[in-house]
């Protein structure tokens, strides 16, 4: 019986990411990195219990959307975000979402998720030009961040879309100087 419940929980945690909330003490720094205002839209990949969406909406007025793949966290987040009138949470694997309508996208995930080429390619394909990806703790694979804030508990990485990697010819970066 234990195995019946433990096995799916273990597989879920391995495939996706365990739920851990972004610390409240990091909010000011995050808001500075997000640089959001009330005319903009915000998306949280893996919205968890919805607390960050409520904070972001209260402090910026931005339209907020959260995507959450864990049924339990979706329910908790949906209640919190709905009661806080902070936006909406969708029960969805973020890889199935179109992110092209958001100005700022936030994520806190493991290296097995945020650090993979799959995730980086998905962002390159679906973020709109001018959008920002803000990642807490985990850098993206192969992309150089436009900003790194190390002034708190964990680093915050900011990437602007489109991401312009240095042009590479025969495996060597091309320099213009």
Ligand X SMILES: C[S@@+](CC[C@H](N)C(=O)[O-])C[C@H]1O[C@@H](n2cnc3c(N)ncnc32)[C@H](O)[C@@H]1O
Residues that bind ligand X (CB under 6 A): 16-17, 19-22, 44-48, 52, 67-70, 73, 93-95, 108-109, 113
Question: Residue 22 has which token pair?
Answer: 């972004």
Q: How far is the CB of 162 from ligand X (least distance, A)?
A: 23
Q: How far apart are CA 67 and CA 51, in angstroms?
A: 13
Query: Which of 61, 35, 65, 34 lies closest to 50, judged by CA?
Result: 65
Q: How far is the CB of 92 from ligand X (least distance, A)?
A: 7
Can you tell me whether residue 140 is helix, strand or coil?
coil
Nearer to ligand X by C-beta: 1 or 100?
100
Sign of CA dihedral 73, 120, 65, 97: negative
Nearer to ligand X by C-beta: 125 or 144?
125
Q: Find the residue with minimal CB distance to ligand X.
A: 46
Nearer to ligand X by C-beta: 72 or 164?
72
């Amino acid at each position: 019986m234990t195995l019946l419940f433990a096995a799916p929980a273990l597989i879920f945690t391995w495939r996706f990411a365990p739920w851990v909330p972004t610390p409240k003490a990091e909010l000011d720094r995050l808001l500075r990195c997000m640089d959001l205002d009330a005319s903009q839209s915000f998306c949280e990949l893996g919205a968890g219990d919805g607390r960050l969406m409520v904070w972001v909406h209260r402090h910026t007025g931005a339209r907020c959307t959260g995507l959450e793949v864990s049924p339990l966290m979706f329910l908790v987040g949906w209640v919190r975000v709905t009661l806080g009138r902070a936006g909406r949470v969708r029960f969805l694997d973020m890889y199935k979402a179109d992110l092209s309508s958001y100005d700022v996208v936030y994520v806190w995930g493991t290296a097995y998720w945020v650090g993979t080429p799959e995730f980086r390619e998905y962002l390159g394909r679906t973020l709109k030009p001018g959008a920002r990806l803000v990642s807490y703790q985990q850098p993206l694979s192969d992309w150089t961040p436009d900003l790194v804030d190390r002034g708190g508990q964990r680093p915050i990485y900011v990437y602007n879309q489109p991401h312009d990697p240095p042009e590479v010819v025969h495996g060597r970066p091309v320099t213009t100087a």
